[in-house]
Amino acid sequence: MRISLLSSIFLVCFGSLHLAYGQNIDPECACNLGNLWLDVVVVIDNSQGMGHDGLNEVAADIATVFAQSNITQALGQTTRVGIVTYGQSAVTKYNLTAFHDTNTFINTIFDVANKPTTDTASYIYMGLSAAQTVLHDGRVNGKRDNVRQAIIVYASDYKSQGQDRDPVQLAQQIKEDGIGIITVGFDQFGGEGVLAGLAKLATPGMAFTNKDTDLVGEIQRNGLCQINCFCPTAWTQYTSQFGLASARRFALCLKLGDIDAMWTAAKIACQHLDNSAYLISEFDEAKHNFTYPQRFLILTMEPRLDGALEIAIPYPNDMLVN
Ligand SMILES: *[C@@H]1O[C@H](CO)[C@@H](O)[C@H](O)[C@H]1NC(C)=O
Ligand SMILES: *[C@@H]1O[C@H](CO)[C@@H](O)[C@H](O)[C@H]1NC(C)=O
Ligand SMILES: *[C@@H]1O[C@H](CO)[C@@H](O)[C@H](O)[C@H]1NC(C)=O
């Protein structure tokens, strides 16, 4: 579903605040799995800790997560998936160019899961590092370099291998490159300690466990669909709380700009719109808090639910005058 910027930049006219609060109809990030526009590496711990049953469950989970995705090498809002396994060391089983259809991927994932290793050690650093390479190699010559990237790691353990191979540092670096990390703690014997370790690696809000009642839904909605919902460079995404990494994302992008010039232009534009002028876009106080101090120009990424044009720009003085 990638939110396309469309050709339209809607300006948002802010009107009086007291009218605005109440119903929130800001556009949610759509979660249309058939349109996911991602490159994903699935990283599976196939050490003894995961065991046969664990691996089967992992495979079933992955198959369900991707069942509705359009896995292909065709261009468009499509998904490519690679597979890495790890224990003591990591193996790249399939790179991003391997799969041309969703069914083949799903059959393959059960094959891969059917082969546990005899490794007793489970070094997540090795798995993450191999996944990073797969994502990097999948982009040679600028191929799909505007597609968001994600790693989903199914881990039975969390062990650091010392400073040179510190998973937290590696995960940090991966996330700084704009790659989302989803972790799933599976059949872990270390319990809470393992989950706490994995949470340090995950993108905020994307650490799950196989005990979650709706694991597939969480990976899809709170993981892949959130990663898939993003703003272009230089735009700030509107979220439920400014500056909070785990905040819920909306399909709305904001930009700082030359407020005076934009405001004048927007005001004129608003005056000329006929069924006009939708003067309000601050549906609630949270949105006011988010936009007001930043003086953002607002770009909606999708047409609003009610079909209306969002209009104008928050301009602190005028907001209170209207
Ligand atoms: C997958 O995406 C390709 C390229 O956009 C498209 O041609 C194809 O119809 C899609 N397949 C499905 C099942 O949606
Ligand atoms: C992916 O794997 C195939 C087959 O092993 C290989 O030919 C190809 O070069 C690899 N692609 C990348 C980008 O590493
Ligand atoms: C908005 O900001 C005010 C003042 O900082 C705060 O008291 C209020 O709780 C915030 N409202 C929301 C919904 O975040």
Q: Is the pLDDT of residue 135 over 80?
A: yes
How is residue 289 written in tokens? 């808090």
> Which atom belonging to ligand 2 lies closest to the Cα atom of 95?
1
- Measured in degrees and rounded to the nearest 5, phi and psi for residue 30 equal -65, 155
The percent of the chain in helix, strand and coil, each rounded to the nearest 5, is: 35, 20, 45
> Which atom belonging to ligand 3 lies closest to the Cα atom of 288?
1
Percentage of residues of the chain with pLDDT beyond 70: 64
* CA 312 / ligand 1 centre spacing (Å): 36
Q: Is the pLDDT of residue 13 over 50?
A: no
What superfamily would CATH give domain 33-227? Answer: von Willebrand factor, type A domain (3.40.50.410)
Best-predicted range by mean pLDDT (12-21, 77-86, 224-233): 77-86
Per-residue model confidence (pLDDT) at position 252 = 64
Give me the residue spans of the domains in the chain: 2-30+232-321, 33-227
Among 4, 72, 81, name the best residue to mutate to test ligand 1's pocket (greatest count of ligand atoms within 8 A of Cβ).
Answer: 72
Question: What is the C-alpha separation between 157 and 2, in angstroms, rounded?
Answer: 33
- Kindly list the distances between the CA atom of residue 177 and the CA atoms of 132, 180, 262, 272, in Å, as whole numbers in the listed order: 10, 9, 32, 43
Contacts of 246 by beta carbon, 8 Å cutoff, 6+ apart? 204, 205
> Which atom belonging to ligand 1 lies closest to the Cα atom of 70?
1
The pLDDT of 225-236, averaged and rounded, is 73
Question: What is the C-alpha separation between 292 and 297, in angstroms, rounded?
Answer: 10
Model confidence pTM above 0.85: no
pLDDT in tens, 274-291: 332 333 344 456 666 665
Q: Which residue has the higher pLDDT, 24 or 208?
A: 208
Q: For residue 240, which ligand has an atom nearest its CA? A: 3
Q: Is the pLDDT of residue 69 over 80?
A: yes
* CA 286 / ligand 3 centre spacing (Å): 7
Q: Is the pLDDT of residue 21 over 50?
A: no
* CA 303 / ligand 1 centre spacing (Å): 23
Tokens 């009642």 belong to residue: 213
Q: Which residue has the higher pLDDT, 23 or 221?
A: 221
Which residue CA neighbors atom 8 of ligand 1 most closely? 70
Q: Which residue has the higher pLDDT, 28 or 308?
A: 28
**Strands across the sheet containing 296-300:** 236-239, 249-256, 296-300
pLDDT in tens, 95-129: 999 999 999 999 999 999 988 889 999 999 999 99
34 lines ligand 1 (CB under 6 A): yes
Q: For residue 2, which ligand has an atom nearest its CA? A: 1
For 311, other C-beta atoms within 10 Å of its C-beta total: 24
Q: Is the pLDDT of residue 9 over 60?
A: no
Residue 224, Cα to own-chain centre: how many angstroms?
A: 5
Q: For residue 70, which ligand has an atom nearest its CA? A: 1
Report the sign of the C-alpha dihedral through residues 30, 31, 35, 41, in that order: positive
Q: Residues lining ligand 3, judged by CB closer than 6 Å?
A: 285-286, 289
Question: What is the C-alpha separation between 186 and 122, in angstroms, rounded?
Answer: 12
Query: What torsion do the CA atoms of 79, 236, 139, 151 make, to the nearest 10 degrees?
Result: -60
Residue 302, Cα to own-chain centre: how many angstroms?
A: 17
102 lines ligand 1 (CB under 6 A): no
Helix (H, G, I), strand (E, B) or coil at 2: coil
Question: What is the C-alpha separation between 73 and 36, in angstroms, rounded?
Answer: 13
Among 129, 184, 178, smallest CA distance to 158 is for: 184
Contact 288, 24 (CB under 8 A): no
Q: What type of residue sits at position 227?
A: I
Q: Residues lining ligand 2, judged by CB closer than 6 Å?
A: 95, 97, 137-138, 140
Q: Which parts of the chain fold into alpha helices (H)?
A: 17-20, 51-66, 102-113, 124-137, 167-176, 192-201, 215-217, 225-228, 259-272, 285-291, 316-321
Q: Is the pLDDT of residue 160 over 70?
A: yes
How is residue 217 written in tokens? 């839904």
76 lines ligand 1 (CB under 6 A): yes
Contact 136, 95 (CB under 8 A): no
276 lines ligand 1 (CB under 6 A): no
- Measured in degrees and rounded to the nearest 5, phi and psi for residue 212 equal -65, 135
Q: What band does 270 get if pLDDT is binned at 50, 70 and 90? A: very low
C-alpha angle 48-53-56 in degrees, rounded to nearest 5:
110
Per-residue model confidence (pLDDT) at position 299 = 46
Helix (H, G, I), strand (E, B) or coil at 319: helix
**β-strand 207-209 against 236-239: which pairing, if any?**
unpaired
Question: What is the C-alpha separation between 39 and 61, in angstroms, rounded?
Answer: 18
* CA 69 / ligand 1 centre spacing (Å): 10
Half-sphere exposure of 251 (CA within 13 A, CB side): 22
Per-residue model confidence (pLDDT) at position 320 = 29
Q: Is the pLDDT of residue 161 over 50?
A: yes
